[in-house]
Amino acid sequence: MGRRLRLVTVAALALTAIVLAGWVIYSRSAFGTWDPTAQPARISYCDRTYLPGQHVSRAVIDSTGNGLGVFPFRQVGSTAGGTPFFAKPLSDSVRDRYGTPRLPCAMAVYLRVGSDDYLAYGLSGGP
């Protein structure tokens, strides 16, 4: 029985190590950081990359708009560590209105870092 217990223990530890390594590698690949609980170096959303900028409040986010319409603020994803990020995405009809290439879903995404504190990530690059 002792040998079987050791085998189960080693297998459980190996499985835990594999899952943890996968989580860390996913965080590095998707968000540019080896620490899944850290602030991402980048956020990918809707086939675009967004880079960190300045801290803003929800009031600032709500007051920011564009000439294409008013779009709801909603959660659009979460980091490897589970921190939610938000955007005010354009509808598909608005994104398609101006031909090819399609407009980006949003010009910014917002990582919630406090109760009324968001880190704005701005769109990187062009079409």
Using one digit for the tens of pLDDT, what is the confidence trace for 54-108?
999 999 998 887 778 778 899 999 998 889 999 999 888 888 888 778 788 888 9
Q: Confirm whether pTM is higher than 0.85.
A: no
Geometric angle at alpha carbon 45, from 113 and 35, rounded to 5° = 50
Which residue type, as a one-letter code, is found at position 36? Answer: P
| Residue 1 counted as domain residue | no
| Residue 27 counted as domain residue | no
Per the structure, how many domains does the chain have? 1
pLDDT tens string 1-59: 688 888 888 888 889 989 888 888 877 777 788 878 888 999 999 888 999 999 999 99
Which residues constitute the domain of residue 67?
39-123
| Residue 29 counted as domain residue | no
| Residue 52 counted as domain residue | yes
| Residue 15 counted as domain residue | no
H-type alpha helices, 32-111: 58-63, 92-96
| Residue 75 counted as domain residue | yes
| Residue 116 counted as domain residue | yes
| Residue 86 counted as domain residue | yes
